[in-house]
Amino acid sequence: MIDVLYFAWVRERIGLPREKMETQAKTVADLVEELKAREPRYEAAFADISALRVALDQDLAEFDAPLEGVREVAFFPPMTGG
Amino acid sequence: MKVSVQAEPFDLGAELADFGTGRADVGAVVSFTGIVRDDTGAMEALELEHYPGMTERAIAGIVDQAVERWNLSDVTVIHRHGRLGVGEQIMMVATAARHRVAAFEAAEFLMDYLKSRAPFWKKEHGPEGTSWVAAKDEDEDALKRW
């Protein structure tokens, strides 16, 4: 089981802040494909992954990163702090 | 070192009053304060969402890099989240170093990295509704100079 978290407009588009899921996905990109296949709202949120960032266990990562051993995956738009 | 991610306002004067003082290795203190600005004249509030846990971790990592690179004696970073009014303080950084060049540069480095590597997202509230603030290419480009 992994926790999948969504922030900002990704959270709004999908309609929930986090969910637990069982997945066989090997990489972040595989997980994205799995989510997109679920429902149109996921497809809309992940339509352009170049507009998204991903963090694995709270560290920024790439979409081709492996998911093995990861407990928390978060998807969000580029950050606007400061 | 102090890192705080909080909804509450902070007291800039109190934060800076003793910062970097009372020690022999500090010759310079620089501080920066970010304020909610209204470019359109119609903004009602700025809402900041963040990623609890990762936010603190990301800021601590950025602070560690700055301390090591500029040999800082002390750093304070306070960043607010939640709903903020126009003119309110959003965040502050303060750096203490032996010389001013290090204190200034480290403060700029911290600001550049907090802007695009700390997981905050800004949303503007106005009479027409709400809109997420898009990250700017120049903010990402600003990281390259470091």
CATH homologous superfamily of B2-128: Molybdopterin biosynthesis MoaE subunit (3.90.1170.40)
Q: How far is B46 from chain A (nearest CA, A)?
A: 12
The complex's ipTM works out to 0.95
A30: distance to nearest CA of chain B, Å?
23
Instruction: Output the CATH code of domain A2-76.
Output: 3.10.20.30
Handedness of CA B66, B70, B76, B82 (dihedral sign): negative
Compute the distance between CA of residue A70 and CA of residue A3 in angstroms, rounded to an integer.
9
Taking the domains of chain A in order of start, what are their residue ranges? 2-76
B130, B124 Cβ separation under 8 angstroms = yes
- Is the Cβ–Cβ distance between B99 and B28 less than 8 Å? yes
Using CB atoms, pick whichever of A7, A74, A79 lies closest to residue B117. Answer: A79
Contact A82/B114, CB-based, under 8 Å? yes
What's the predicted TM-score (pTM) here?
0.95
Interchain CB distance below 8 Å, A81 and B115: yes
Residues of B in contact with A77 (CB under 8 A): 121, 132, 134-135
Q: What pLDDT digit, counting tens, does each position of B84-123 carry?
A: 999 999 999 999 999 999 999 999 999 999 999 999 999 9
Separation between Cα atoms, residue B9 and residue B7, nearest integer Å:
7
pLDDT digits (tens, 9 = 90+) for A30-63: 999 999 999 999 999 999 999 999 999 999 999 9
Among B57, B79, B123, whose Cβ lies nearest the Cβ of A81? B79
Which residue is closest to A54 within chain B, CA to CA?
A: B119
B40, pLDDT greater than 90:
no
DSSP secondary structure of B65-79 = HHHHHHT-SEEEEEE
Of A5, A7, A60, the CB nearest to B121: A7
